[in-house]
Amino acid sequence: MRNEPANRLDASALKYWKWNGFLSSLFWWIAPLAYFFAIRFWEWPQWILGVLVIACVGITILATTLFPKITWERWRYDVSNQEIDLLYGRWIKKRTIIPMVRVQHVDTKQGPLMKQFALSAVTISTAAGSHEIPALAEEVADELRDRISILARVEIVAAIDLSEIP
């Protein structure tokens, strides 16, 4: 059995995910707000508004406290000369091993909220799809992107050289 990957995401990821969770939870507040205005026009029961508010408070608390903590604690990654090892999952652990010979493209991305926390994500593309290592410090993400790119090229050259041997 393999050991778990050793590298963790940046500690700022926790703050980033808390803010992201808060901003995402604002979407849920549309329902009680709409119901509040609907009560003014129609004679709908007011207790439903209370239930909606309590549900939204719960969603906001979970999205800003529990979910970010669990996500940050579960995320691990390693990059070796032969493969990229990802371990993640909030409720169900998922482990993805990406052989370097399968890597086609490596990219970094950074949204406005990530920029506030000096974080970037590394996206690894293969023929089967793409995988992401989220919330790394900008410098770490840039170094990791460059390292994976170099290792992927080395693996491709090695694979070509091996195939030419009779």
103-140 pLDDT per residue, tens: 999 999 999 999 999 999 999 999 989 999 999 999 99
Token duo for residue 21: 């969770």
pLDDT at 118: 96
Q: Which of 15, 8, 16 is nearest to 111 (CA)?
A: 16
pLDDT at 161: 53
- Which of the residues in the chain have pLDDT under 70? 154-166
